[in-house]
Amino acid sequence: MLDEPLSALDARLRERLRVVIRDLQQELSITTVYVTHDQAEALAISDRVAVMHDGRVEQVGPPETIYREPATRFVAEFVGDNNLLDGEVVSTDPPRVRLGTAADTQALTVPVDSLPPTGASVTLSVRPEDVRLGDDDAPITLTATVGTVEFLGDAYRVHCAWGDRSLLVKYTGDSAPEGAVTLGISPADVSIVGGDVS
């Protein structure tokens, strides 16, 4: 049992030690329960992650599943950055979701793999790194306006306004984007967020 063993260390040392801990755990082949609030740490060193909220387990699974297929809205919001888009199922064959309302000029239909019945409300999840700025040829395209831009060193964290919604984009271009932009999304990068655990 390791209870936040790296919490008092600086970021660079934590990154090095989490590799050491992972290697040691694999070498000894022992089950280790590792408690942390650092999401990157949990994803990097774990075979399985349990996300808890208010004393309840929200989701248990491999790190990739927790990140790419969050089971609840809490997991989607808690683990990494995420764009959560509420919509309504308008067709199940083919499966499609309309984002926005009929009166909303930014209404959009998004294809996904499987859906609840027509008329049901759903929440779609798409990670910022899966939204491609300037991709006019993507299956799903949105016209948005760049707001705040944060420089992270290896990328820009771009806050965009699409209608009355805010979308977050991780952009790896050479310079900060500005003004009106096209955002491209692949249906393969869109997942449905499950309901809250009762």
Q: Label residue 47 by pLDDT band (50, 70, 90).
A: very high
Q: By mean pLDDT, which of 9-13, 72-76, 101-105, 139-143 is the weakest?
A: 101-105
pLDDT of residue 196: 44
d(C-alpha 97, C-alpha 84), whole Å: 13
d(CA 106, CA 6): 45
Q: How much is the pLDDT for 57?
A: 95
What's the confidence (pLDDT) of residue 96?
84
Give the pLDDT confidence of 77-118 residue by residue, as tens digits.
999 999 999 988 888 888 888 887 555 545 677 777 778 888
pTM recorded for the entire structure: 0.82
Sign of CA dihedral 91, 96, 100, 103: negative
In our burial notation (b when 16+ CB lie closer than 10 A, e otherwise), range 125-148 reads bbbbebbbbebeebebebebebee
| Res. 134: pLDDT tops 80 | yes
Domains and CATH numbers, the chain: 48-193 (2.40.50.140)
